[in-house]
A and B are shown apart, each in its own frame.
Chain A
Amino acid sequence: MDFLTILNNSAAEILSPSTAAFALATIGLNVHFGYSGLLNFGQAAFMAVGAYAFAIFTMQVDPTATLGWPMWLSFVVAVLVAIVAAVAFALVLGIPTLRLRGDYLAIVTIAAAEIIRFTVRTSDYSAVTGGSQGLRGQDYKGDITGLNPLTGTTYGFGPWTGTAYDTWIRILAWTLVVVALILVWLLMRSPWGRVIKGIREDEDAVRSLGKNVYSYKMQALVLGGVLGGLAGIMYVLPRAVQPDNFATAMTFYIWTALLLGGAATVFGPLLGSILFWVLLAFTGGMLSGLQQIGAFGDMSGTQAGQLRFVLVGVALMLLVIFRPQGILGNKKELSFHV
C-alpha cells in the first residue's frame, strides 16, 4: 500500500477540473435549495442538458469548419447554446410545477432527470447523441484545444501537475467557479436575494407583500439550472460525454457536497465539493490499498471499491445528525425549529 500515492491522488482532486465542474453544479443547487428552497433532485439532468447541447452543437453544426467562424466564436456560441438549452429545460420543469407546492418540483425533477438520461441513451438517436456509448471527446474538443494559449508540455507542481490541455481546462473551469461565486454573492446581498430567501421561508407571506413569487422562483430555477448546464460543459471537457455519468447518483453527490459545505452559504458549495472529492479519492485509495494487502479477506477489488459509498452514506448520516447546517452553516439558524 503506497500511502504517498493515495495522498497525492487525493490532493490532486482539490484542483481537478472535475471538482470545479462539480462545484459549479453545487453552487447552482445552492441557489435552488439553499436560497430559494426549491427541491431540485435533477441537477444531474441540467448538467446533461448543458453537456449534450454543447457537444452536439459543436459536432453537428461545427461552425468553425462549415461557416468558417473563428474558433473562439464557435466555442462561445456552443456555450450559449448550452445555456439556452438549460434555460429551456428549467422553464419546462418550472412552468407546470412552480405554482404548486414544493414537493411537486422534487418529483418532476427526479423524473425529468431520468427521462433526459434515457432519451440520450436511446439507440434511435445514436447518430446524434451516441446512444449508450456517448460522444467521443475528440469530436467536440477541437475548438477548445485550438484556443489553448499554453504551449508547453506540463504545468503545475506536485499533485497538481498536468498537461497543457488539462491546465487550460483547469483555468477555465476554476475561473467560471470564481465568477459564479461572485455572482451568487452579489445577488444574495441584494434585495433580489432577500425576496428569494423570503420565498424559502414562506411563499404566501412574500406574496402578500406584493412580490411575484412565481417569477422569482422561475428566475432562481433558471439561474441554478444555467450554472448546472455550465457545470456539464466543464465536466465533459476533460473526458467524453457518457450518459451514465449523469445518473441519479451524480445528483446525490451534489446534494451531499452541498449539505457538507453548508447550504445557503456562498462558499459552502465550493468547500463541500472539494472535501467530497478529496474524501472520495482518499477512501477509495485506502480501501483498494487495504484490499491489496488482504485486509478484507476474500473481497474483490471492485467490492472493496464499493465500500467507499457505504462510507459516504455513513458520513452523510453523521453530518445530518451532528452538523445539519454543514461546515460553514450558521448554527444559530438551526437553534429554532422552522
Chain B
Amino acid sequence: MSETTTDGTAPTATHPLVDGEVAPGCKKVDPIVVADGVIRQFGGLTAVDVEHVEIPRGAITALIGPNGAGKTTFFNLLTGFDRPNKGSWSFEGQSLAHVPSHKVARRGMVRTFQLTKSLGRLTVLQNMLLGARDQRGESFFAALVRPLWRAQEQSNTEKADSLLARFKLDTKREDYAASLSGGQRKLLEMARALMSDPTLVMLDEPMAGVNPALTQSLLDHVKGLKDDGMTVLFVEHDMHMVRHISDWVIVMAEGRIVAEGPPETIMQNQAVVDAYLGAHHDTDLGTLTNQQVAQIHEAAEEEVPVGLEASATETTTTDAPAEPGATAHDEEGKR
C-alpha cells in the first residue's frame, strides 16, 4: 500500500489492488466476486442498485455506508438469501445468480449473520461439526451405518477442536451454544464458518454487540483469516475496525456504490462525506453583518416571552380541553 497516493480523490489515483484508476466500480487486478447491474426493489424502494463492483481476492474488504444503504441486502443477494429483481454476479468466474443459498455456501462463499445465529440447543462442538462440508453421514441411509462416517467424523472433530482452541472456545466445547455470551457466539459463528474451508468469508457486522475486551481478539481473528489465504468481505459500522484491518473499502449509500478506496484516504472522499453527513452539511450561508446579528438577537429576545406564553397556554389547555386548538394538539400528542 506504499504506492497509495495520499489524496484518494485525485483523478490519477492508483492502487496495487486496482487495475487502472481508483473509482467507484473500478476493475480489480484479481477479483473474486464480480457483480453487474444488481437491482433489488422492495415495492417502490430500490434497496440495492449496484452497477458494477469487484471484490479483490486475498484481501480484507470492508463494505460501509450509513444505515439503510443496502449493505446487508446486497450481502443477502450475493449469498442467495434474497433474490434480485435484476442482475448477475460471479464468484471465481462462475455465475452465482439464482443459485440457492446452500449451494453458494458449498462453492466456498460462507457468510455469518448480523444477528448471530448460533444453534442454541446444540453444543459448541456440534455447532462446529455442522459446518464441515461433504459429510457422508448427512445422507439419510448412510447415517444409519456408523462405520461409513466414523472416520470422517473423527477428523472433523479434530479440526473442530483445533479451531475452537484458536478461537479460545475449547473450554466451552461441551456447553450449549445458548449459554455463550454474545461475543463468544460471534466467535463461534466465525469458527463454524471456517469448518468448511471457505475461500471467501462474508461477515455481516462482526463487531455488533461485542464488548470492547473481545473486539481486539475478533480483529486479530479476522486478520488471521487473510493470513490463511482467505478473502474477507465484511459489513461494519465501526470505523476503528475498518481502518485497522481492511485493505480496501467500498462505500454504499442509497443502494449504490458511491466510493471505493484504501481505508487511509476513503474518509476524505467527498462522496463518502456526503453520504454520511448529507451533501449540504457545510454549505456556507454567507457572513453576517453586525446589523444582522443584532436583528437576530432582538428577534430572539422577543421570542422568549412568546415561547413561555405558548408553554403556559399549553399547560392550561391540557386542563381545559374544550379549547379547539388544544384538542387538536392533544390528539397529535397521543399519536
Contacts and interface: CB of A to CB of B under 8 A. Distances in A.
B192 A209 contact: yes
Contact of B143 (A192, A197, A209, A335): A192
Contacts of B192: 209
B137 A210 contact: no
Interface in B182-201: 189, 192-193, 195-196
B126 A336 contact: no
B99 to A, nearest CB: 12
A212 interface: yes
Contacts of B195: 209
Residue among B131, B133, B142, B146 with most chain A CB within 10 A: B131
Contact of A212 (B102, B122, B130, B131): B102
A208 interface: yes
A211 interface: yes
A207 B178 CA distance: 19
Interface residues of B, number: 44
Interface string A203-236: 0111111111100000100010000000000000
A209 B130 contact: yes
B210 interface: no
Interface stretch (B42-50, B83-91, B112-120): B112-120
Interface stretch (B103-111, B256-264, B285-293, B306-314): B103-111
A201 B117 CA distance: 9
A1 interface: no
A198 B117 CA distance: 10
Given A204-B117, A205-B119, A193 B176 contact: no
A89 B142 CA distance: 25
B101 interface: yes
Contacts, number: 110
Nearest to A186: B144
B81 interface: yes
A191 B137 contact: yes
A191 B142 CA distance: 10
B140 A192 contact: yes
B196 A205 contact: no
A90 B265 CA distance: 58
Contacts of B117: 202, 204-205, 208
B122 A210 contact: no
A153 interface: no
A191 B129 contact: yes
A191 B143 contact: yes
Given A187-B143, A209-B196, A219-B140, A202 B119 contact: yes
B244 interface: no
A332 B176 contact: yes
A139 to B, nearest CB: 36
Contacts of A219: 140
Contacts of B106: 210
A83 to B, nearest CB: 15
Nearest to A195: B138
A338 interface: yes
A239 interface: no
Contact of B79 (A194, A202, A208): A208
Interface in A262-277: none
B249 to A, nearest CB: 24
Contacts of A194: 122, 126, 129-130, 138
Interface in B239-271: none
A94 to B, nearest CB: 15
A2 interface: no
B120 A338 contact: yes
B133 A190 contact: no
Nearest to A200: B121
Contacts of B316: none
A194 B153 CA distance: 12
B133 A205 contact: no
B149 interface: yes
Contact of A201 (B100, B103, B122): B122
A211 B131 CA distance: 9
Given A194-B126, A213-B102, A208 B121 contact: no
Contacts of B110: 208-210
B181 to A, nearest CB: 12
B205 to A, nearest CB: 15
Contacts of B101: 207-208
Contact of A191 (B153, B179, B189): B153
A298 interface: no
A192 B138 contact: yes
Nearest to A188: B143
A336 B176 CA distance: 10
Nearest to B108: A210
Interface string B297-329: 000000000000000000000000000000000
Contacts of B178: 336, 338
A335 B144 CA distance: 31
B171 interface: no
5 A-B pairs with the lowest CB-CB distances in the bound complex, closest first: A192-B143, A191-B137, A210-B105, A190-B143, A205-B117
30 contacts: A186-B146, A190-B149, A191-B135, A191-B137, A191-B153, A194-B126, A194-B129, A194-B138, A195-B130, A197-B121, A197-B126, A201-B119, A201-B122, A202-B117, A204-B113, A205-B113, A206-B130, A207-B105, A208-B79, A208-B105, A209-B105, A209-B130, A209-B196, A212-B102, A213-B102, A333-B176, A335-B179, A336-B178, A336-B179, A338-B120
Given A213-B102, A336-B178, 18 more contacts: A186-B146, A191-B129, A191-B138, A191-B153, A192-B140, A197-B126, A198-B130, A205-B119, A207-B101, A208-B81, A208-B110, A208-B112, A209-B193, A210-B102, A211-B102, A211-B138, A333-B121, A336-B120
